[in-house]
Chains A and B, each alone.
Chain A
Amino acid sequence: MLTRKTKFLLWTLILIFSAGLSQAQARDYISIVGSSTVYPFATVVAEQFGKTTQFKTPKIEATGSGGGLKLFCTGVGIEYPDMTNASRRIKKSEVELCSTNGVKEVVEIKIGYDGIILANSRKAKPFRLSRKEVFWALAKNIPDPGGQQKLIPNPHTRWSDIKPGLPATKIEVLGPPPTSGTRDAFVELVMEEGAKKFDWIKALAKSDKAKFKEIAHTLREDGAFVEAGENDNLIVQKLDVNPAGLGIFGFSFLDQNGDKIQGAFVDGVEPTFEAIAEGEYPVSRPLYLYVKKAHAGVIPGVNEFLNEFTSEKAWGEDGYLADKGMIPMPEEERQAFRTDAQKLNTLNLE
C-alpha cells in the first residue's frame, strides 16, 4: 500500500531521470586528461576559452601524466580523450601503445616549464643547498664517507652534520607522496643528479640502472623525509608553524605564498621566475600537451583551443599562465611549437 505521496515522489524522480537521459549523446566539448601539475594551467586556458568563444568549456581530468597517456592512447573516437597533459615527455612505449590502438598521429606541444622548489618559512633564514647536499640529507642509504664503494644508512640528523655552514636544525623535509608528479620530478632532477656527484654511483647509472634508481629514488623513512599528502596548501601551513622544516613544491605555490615561504637556493641559484625561465635554476621540467590529430575537426573547437593555448596572451611572458606561476618558454621555442599546433605537425619519436 504505497501512499499517494510516495507514488508522487517516485514519479517525479523518474521524470527528472528521463529528462536528464534525453540529453544529446554526441560529445560537443573537448575532453582532456593528464598531469595534475599541468592541471592548474590547462584549466585556466580552458576557462578562458569557454568564456570567450562559442564553444563549451573543455573538461579536464587530473589523472596524472602516466594515467592520462594511458587513457589517451586507448583509441580514437568520441569516448576517448582528445588531449592529455604531461609533466614529462611521452615515452617510446607509450607511443607504441598509441599506435597499436590506432592513435597514429599525435601532436606534441611543449607549453612551458615548471620549477620544483624547496622552501622554508619566512621566519627562518633561506637555505642554500647543493643537490649533492640534498641527496646526503634525504637518501635512505648514502655512500660510505670513508671512500669505499658501499652504502651505509644515512646517519645525518642535522643539516650541520652534512656541511658545517648549514643550520644546526633537524633535517625535516615535507614532500608529496610517490603518486605525485612533483615527487617524480624531484627524485629525477635533484636526487639523481645529487647521486651522480659520486663517481662510482654515476658509473652505476650506465651499468646497472635498477641499482642506481634504487639508490637515488629511495628516500629516508626515519622521519627526516615526511610524506605530507597531495595537499600542498597543507604543507605551506605546516611550514608556517615549523620554521625548521623544508617543503617540496611546484613553483606556483611559492608564487602564491611569497609572504609565508621562501625558496631555497639550489646550487647557488634562487628560484625566481626569471631564473627558471632563463634555465639558470637547475630544478625545472618541461610541460607538454599531446593532441590527437584525428579528433581535430571532429570534436568542435580543437583547433581554436590550441590557438588559445599557444597565443601570447596565454603562454607569453606576460600571459595569464605566467600569472598563475607557469614558466614560459623562450620566444623561438614558443614560435616553433605554435607552428606545430597550428599545422598539427605530428610527433615523430626516433
Chain B
Amino acid sequence: MNNTEPEQTDAAQPESPRTIDIVNKGLAKRYGREKRFKMYGFFAVAISLSFLALLFLTIFSNGYSAFYQTYVKLEVFFDPADIDVDDPANSNFPGLVKKTLRSEFPDVKKRKEKKKLYSLVSSGAAFQLQRMIEQQPELVGSTMTIEVPADDDVDMFMKGNISRDVPENERRISDRQLDWIDKWLKEGRIAKRFNTTFFTSGDSREPELAGILGALTGSIFTLALTLLLSFPVGVAAAMYLEEFAPRNRWIDLVEVNINNLAAVPSIVFGLLGLAVFINFFHLPRSAPLVGGLVLTLMTLPVIIIASRASLQSVPPSIREAALGVGASKVQTVLHHVLPLALPGMLTGTIIGIARALGETAPLLMIGMVAFIVDIPKGFTDPATALPVQIFLWADSPERGFVERTSAAIIVLLVLLVVINSLAVILRNRFERRW
C-alpha cells in the first residue's frame, strides 16, 4: 500500500477516507472471526466424531469376540443301541454325547464329576447329532470326528473372560474341568472358529446356540411392510397437502396434528396399535404385520414432513414452466416437481425407517418383546426385532450374552450404515439425471 499516491487521487475529497482503507483496517478482525468460527465448527465435528469412534471402539472391542465360538472335536460312535433310525426325535442323543465324553475320560466315575464333564459341551451337541442322523441315517453304526460347540462357560474361559487365578469356588469352571480342557488344548481338539451359528439361528437361552437371524428376519419383515406402506402413503399425503389441498382451517388442523404426531413418544403408537390392530381388528400378537403397521404410523409423520419440505424447496419457476406449456396440475407435479423432490423424500423416508429399525418401545405393547426361537417365515408368524433382541440379551444373566449383545449392536449398526449408504446412492442416482 503506497501512501503517497492515494492522497493525490483523493485530493478531490480529502476528508472522506477511501473504502479500501476502511476495509483494510477491519480485515484482520474479520478474518479472525472467520477463523474462530471455522475452529468452533472443526471442534464440534471432532468432538462428535471422537465420541462416535469411542462408541464404536467399545462396542466393537466388546462384541467382536462373539463372532468366534469355541468348538470341541469329539470322536462319536453312532451307537445303534441309542438311535432309533425311524424316529430320531425320540432317540437318546444326549445319552450318546455323554457316552462319548465318558469314553474320552474313562477315569471319571463319580456322579458329580460326570455332571461336570457333561457340561463341557453345549446341550446343542445332541441336537447337532440328531440333525445329522435325520439327514443321513446311514451314519448309524459308524464312527466320526465331529466338531460340536463348547458350553458357554468353556467358551468364556477360552476367550479369557474367566480367569484361572481366582479361587475354584468362585469361578464357573472347576479345576477338574480345567484339566480336561488343558488335555484337549494339548491335543489341539478345542479351538475357536468363526461363529456361523450367530448368523444362522434364532434366539436361544444358551449363548453358544443363540443367533440373530430370527430377530433380523423379524426386523426385515417389519420394516419391509413399514416401507411399503409409509413411503407411498407419506408421499401421497405430502403431495396432496402441499400441491392440491385447499388452504383452509381443516387443512391447517391436519397440518398441526401431523407435526404433533411426529413428536409423540413412540410407545404411544404401541398403545394405539394394541388397541386398534390387536384388540379391535384381532390381528395376531407378536406379528411383524402389526409391528409394521405400528411403525408405519410412527414413521408417517416424519416422512410427510420431510416430503413436504422437499416439495416446498422445488423452485416455483419449474412449476410455472410446466404449467406454461400446458401441463395439468397432476402432470406438473408428477413429471417435474416429484422427481426434483424425490431425493429429499427418500432421505426423509430413510431417516424414518432407520429410526423405526431402532425402536423397541412400541413393539413392547404389541408383544414383539418375546422369546422366539423359530425363524419367522411370514408376516403373521411371531417375531421380534433386532433392538428387542439386544434388549433381551442385555438382561440375560449368562456372561456369554454380554459379548453377544455387543455383537448384535454391531450388526444393527452395520445395517444402519447399509441403509444410509443406500439412501446416499439412491439420491445420487436420482440427482445425476439432471
| Chain A contacts to B: CB under 8 angstroms | 1, 13-14, 16-17, 19-25, 27, 29, 31, 33, 36, 39-40, 42-44, 46-48, 50-54, 56-57, 59-62, 79, 122, 230-234, 250, 252-253, 255-259, 262, 318, 320, 323-325
The residues in B between 319 and 349 inclusive whose CB is less than 8 angstroms from any CB of A are: 334-335, 339
B227 interface residue (CB < 8 Å to A): yes
Least CB distance, A295 to chain B, in whole angstroms: 15
Q: Among A21, A42, A325, point to the contact of B397 (Cβ < 8 A).
A: A325
Q: Among B172, B367, B398, point to the contact of A61 (Cβ < 8 A).
A: B367
A1–B370 touching, CB < 8 Å: no
B205–A50 touching, CB < 8 Å: no
Counting chain B CB atoms within 10 Å of each CB, the highest count among A20, A60, A250, A255 belongs to A20
* Chain A neighbourhood of B369, CB < 8 A: 61-62
Least CB distance, A266 to chain B, in whole angstroms: 20
* Chain A neighbourhood of B169, CB < 8 A: 258
B115–A40 touching, CB < 8 Å: no
B373–A23 touching, CB < 8 Å: no
| Chain B contacts to A: CB under 8 angstroms | 89, 115, 119, 123, 127, 162-163, 166, 169-172, 204-206, 221, 224-225, 227-228, 278, 282, 284-286, 288-289, 334-335, 339, 367, 369-374, 377-382, 392, 394-399, 401-402
* Chain B neighbourhood of A262, CB < 8 A: 170
Q: Among A51, A59, A255, A323, point to the contact of B370 (Cβ < 8 A).
A: A59
* Chain A neighbourhood of B224, CB < 8 A: 13, 16-17
Q: How far is the CA of A318 from the CA of B115 in the complex (A)?
A: 9
Q: How far is the CA of A31 from the CA of B382 in the complex (A)?
A: 10
A79–B284 touching, CB < 8 Å: yes
A232–B397 touching, CB < 8 Å: yes
Beyond the given pairs A16-B224, A29-B382, A31-B382, 17 more chain A to chain B contacts, judged by CB atoms under 8 angstroms and listed by A's residue number, are: A1-B339, A20-B377, A21-B289, A22-B378, A23-B381, A31-B286, A40-B396, A47-B204, A47-B371, A50-B374, A57-B374, A79-B284, A122-B170, A255-B397, A256-B399, A259-B166, A323-B119
Q: Which residue of B lies closest to A45 (CB)?
A: B205
Q: How far is the CA of A19 from the CA of B376 in the complex (A)?
A: 13
A62–B378 touching, CB < 8 Å: no
Q: Which residue of A lies closest to B405 (CB)?
A: A233
Q: How far is the CA of A33 from the CA of B367 in the complex (A)?
A: 9
B392–A62 touching, CB < 8 Å: yes
Least CB distance, B212 to chain A, in whole angstroms: 16
Least CB distance, B333 to chain A, in whole angstroms: 11
Q: How far is the CA of A237 from the CA of B339 in the complex (A)?
A: 52
On whether A256 and B89 interact (CB within 8 A), knowing A79-B282, A318-B115, the answer reads no
B395–A230 touching, CB < 8 Å: yes
Smallest CB-CB A-B distances: 7 pairs: A20-B379, A23-B378, A20-B378, A57-B373, A60-B371, A61-B370, A43-B371
Least CB distance, A197 to chain B, in whole angstroms: 32
Q: How far is the CA of A122 from the CA of B286 in the complex (A)?
A: 41
On whether A57 and B372 interact (CB within 8 A), knowing A21-B289, A21-B378, A22-B378, the answer reads yes
Q: Which residue of A lies closest to B220 (CB)?
A: A16
Q: How far is the CA of A282 from the CA of B382 in the complex (A)?
A: 40
Counting chain A CB atoms within 10 Å of each CB, the highest count among B127, B367, B377 belongs to B367
Q: Which residue of B lies closest to A78 (CB)?
A: B284
Q: How far is the CA of A94 from the CA of B254 in the complex (A)?
A: 42
* Chain B neighbourhood of A19, CB < 8 A: 378
A25–B166 touching, CB < 8 Å: no
Q: Which residue of A lies closest to B381 (CB)?
A: A23
Q: Among A14, A21, A56, A324, point to the contact of B374 (Cβ < 8 A).
A: A56
Q: How far is the CA of A56 from the CA of B282 in the complex (A)?
A: 22
Q: How far is the CA of A20 from the CA of B382 in the complex (A)?
A: 12
Least CB distance, A43 to chain B, in whole angstroms: 4
A1–B335 touching, CB < 8 Å: yes
Q: Which residue of B lies closest to A51 (CB)?
A: B127
Q: Among B119, B289, B373, B382, point to the contact of A47 (Cβ < 8 A).
A: B373
On whether A258 and B172 interact (CB within 8 A), knowing A20-B288, A23-B379, A47-B205, the answer reads yes
Q: How far is the CA of A23 from the CA of B378 in the complex (A)?
A: 6
Q: Among B89, B225, B377, B395, point to the contact of A52 (Cβ < 8 A).
A: B89
B370–A46 touching, CB < 8 Å: no
A43–B205 touching, CB < 8 Å: yes
Q: How far is the CA of A24 from the CA of B227 in the complex (A)?
A: 24
On whether A25 and B380 interact (CB within 8 A), knowing A47-B204, A54-B89, the answer reads yes
On whether A17 and B395 interact (CB within 8 A), knowing A46-B371, A50-B373, A233-B402, the answer reads no
B127–A13 touching, CB < 8 Å: no
Q: How far is the CA of A325 from the CA of B170 in the complex (A)?
A: 15
Least CB distance, A121 to chain B, in whole angstroms: 12
* Chain A neighbourhood of B402, CB < 8 A: 233
Least CB distance, B134 to chain A, in whole angstroms: 12
* Chain A neighbourhood of B373, CB < 8 A: 46-47, 50, 57
Q: Which residue of A lies closest to B364 (CB)?
A: A63
10 contacts between A and B (CB under 8 A): A17-B225, A21-B289, A23-B381, A25-B284, A29-B382, A39-B371, A51-B127, A232-B397, A259-B171, A324-B205
Q: How far is the CA of A44 from the CA of B163 in the complex (A)?
A: 27
Q: Which residue of A lies closest to B393 (CB)?
A: A233
Q: Which residue of A lies closest to B401 (CB)?
A: A233
B227–A256 touching, CB < 8 Å: no
Least CB distance, A264 to chain B, in whole angstroms: 15
On whether A21 and B170 interact (CB within 8 A), knowing A59-B372, A60-B370, A256-B399, the answer reads no
B381–A233 touching, CB < 8 Å: no
Q: How far is the CA of A258 from the CA of B171 in the complex (A)?
A: 6
A17–B379 touching, CB < 8 Å: yes
Least CB distance, B230 to chain A, in whole angstroms: 12
Q: How far is the CA of A323 from the CA of B172 in the complex (A)?
A: 11
* Chain B neighbourhood of A17, CB < 8 A: 224-225, 228, 379
Q: How far is the CA of A27 from the CA of B283 in the complex (A)?
A: 12
* Chain A neighbourhood of B398, CB < 8 A: 256
Q: How far is the CA of A13 from the CA of B221 in the complex (A)?
A: 10
* Chain B neighbourhood of A14, CB < 8 A: 228
* Chain A neighbourhood of B286, CB < 8 A: 31, 59, 61
